[in-house]
Amino acid sequence: MRPALTTLSEDEVQFRDAVRGFAENEIKPHVHDMDQKAKMNPDIVKKLFEMGLMGIESPEKFGGAGSSFTMACLAVEEIARVDGSVSVLMDVQNTLVTNAFIKWGSPAIQEKYMPKLATEWVGAYALSESVSGSDAFALKTRAELKGDKYILNGSKLWITNGLEANVFIVFATVDASKGYKGITAFIVEKDFKGFVVGKKEDKLGIRASSTCELLFENCEVPVSNILGEVGKGYKIAIETLNEGRIGIGAQMLGIAQGAYEAALGYIKSREQFGKPIAEFQGVQFQIAQMRVDLEAARLMVYNAARLKDAGLDFIESAAMAKLYSSKVAEKLTSMAIDLFGGNGFTKEYPVEKFWRDAKIGQIYEGTSNMQLQTIAKIELGS
């Protein structure tokens, strides 16, 4: 058990410890089964709502906790320490969907959707398409105004929470001639006419997290379900993803922490040449380096979250935090497998799953190359 960091307040430490206990008791017993079946346990989703972990920043008047972005990141980290799939479900709910509704939703939109998102509805964020990954605004999904409705046609790929979600923030182009300034964010409910959740991807890691295709065929969306303003979808996407990257940094931090703790316990019990392998200096140096990397990643993630909460410029810090923590997660989970030896390569032990779950951190919500590009542009003033 690591000591509490001095950067956390007493309330934050208590909250972190409560989430850790919840993850250990309510999530951990189901991790292996969910990974094997590639399916989220619906009872866990229900318990996330009961714990208040699906509306951490949502105002109390909407049934949320009215807490901070940093608290949300602490929860993501602690859950990822046990399971990356559950952590990304609640991460998307908090750092992408709820944040977007808080910042861009009209009073009527907030009154309609935020109480449900805080207490019972899972949300999803639908930006990516087959030709729109790092080139986020090369969207092919179109929205045409007809009377009091927009008609959406197109498809989305790699959408987290696709199977569990009741409501989706969907980005589509209302005027292709305007380029990115024609992009608009729409709020689409699961049962809207013309909307279907397509196939679920069979993934390397975070297998219990549903990553799905979304299909829109003359999907009818009321004009009142525009999030923000027409043509401002690009701004919503950029600003929300900047925040979401800190959440992914927290997820990667938690995955790395889980692998580190598993390795630390194993080397104390695994004996070779008549003594625990923890007594060999080569192993001790690896553990020391893992601990240093973890601390550096944690400070970067927490710093970015603090800047966001303080209303200060956090874009470069968010990019750095995601870039570095995702590299640390991949490195430390691989080292953990090495320390477990042959056992680490089997599914009987947890570290191979941590390694599989870690890889996505360098891909989604902005690849590592995109984070480097963001940092370079800021440093060069371009």
Other C-beta atoms within 10 Å of 18: how many?
15
Catalytic annotation present for 365: yes
Question: Which residues in 159-191 are b (16+ Cβ under 10 Å) and which e?
Answer: bbbbebbbbbbbbbbbbeeeebbbbbbbbbebe
Structure tokens at 83: 């399971």
Contact criterion met (CB below 8 Å) for 336 and 261: no
Contact criterion met (CB below 8 Å) for 290 and 338: no
Contact criterion met (CB below 8 Å) for 180 and 95: no
Contact criterion met (CB below 8 Å) for 184 and 237: no
Element (H, E) at 252: helix 233-269
Torsion of CA 237, 242, 243, 244, to 10 degrees: 70
- Does residue 206 come out as left (phi exceeding 0), alpha (psi in the -120 to 50 range) or beta? left
DSSP state of 59: -
Which residue's structure tokens are 């087959």?
130
What is the DSSP pairing of strand 123-126 with strand 167-173?
parallel
Other C-beta atoms within 10 Å of 109: how many?
17
Contact criterion met (CB below 8 Å) for 138 and 78: no
Closest by Cα among 250, 240, 216, 233 to 77: 250
Catalytic one of 201, 220, 365, 379: 365
Report which residue type is found at 87: S
Q: Which residues are catalytic?
A: 365
